Amino acid sequence: MNDNPPQPPLGEQPPGEPRPPSGEQPPPYGPPPHAVPYGSPYGGQGGPPPPYDPRYGYGPPGVPQHPSAHGGAVTSEETNMVVLSYVLMLFVGFLAPLVIYLMKKNTSRFVRHHAAQALNYQLTMLIHLLALGSVCAVPAIITKNPAYLVPLVLVYLELLIGGWVFPIVGAVSGGKGRWTRFPTFFCFRMIR
């Protein structure tokens, strides 16, 4: 005799679970349809991994990712959008990567990765500036000594040099169809 309650059939709602809005089907229970065992790159099938499904995130660790959402090679349109997101970041800040991210986040993983990285870089630089600025400004105001503002020179140099280096590196590697990651200190992974 089994002490576990019976599992509902696939696609049915278990008792006590909230119902989805009318007209929508609830997601099937159990692992995602493309789940692979941990440690095996393709789940033992020998073929390429299944296409990206945004309902299940990025997949288990160790599974190589597709170059784009459709599973093929990176197209010239995708590389153009990536280059545009980085180059326009030099002129209009975070607005260009944000617009490109919102336009392409569900259609191209390659563009989504690079646009999110450009946004993360901009947000990280803002966090660095605000954090060090607040730490330096309080003693400078209390003691009325501007010498406490000297550490802000480091953030200024970081913004000045990194503000040109990282977008250029990202544009060049993205234009060649390569997946790159900036160092975490300069680009926290906040937007994925």
The CB density around residue 163, as the number of other CB atoms within 10 Å, is 16
SS3 140: helix
Answering whether pTM is above 0.85, one says no
∠ CA(26), CA(29), CA(35), 5° rounding? Answer: 120
Convert the pLDDT of each residue in 134-192 to its tens digit.
898 899 999 999 888 898 898 889 888 988 999 999 999 999 999 888 888 888 888 88
pLDDT at position 8 is 56
Please state, in angstroms and rounded to a whole number, the distance separating the CA atoms of residues 159 and 63. 35
SS3 94: coil
Please state, in angstroms and rounded to a whole number, the distance separating the CA atoms of residues 112 and 179. 11
Convert the pLDDT of each residue in 77-119 to its tens digit.
999 999 999 999 989 988 999 999 999 999 999 999 999 999 9
Contact, 60 vs 31, CB < 8 A? Answer: no
Domain positions in the chain: 19-65, 70-175
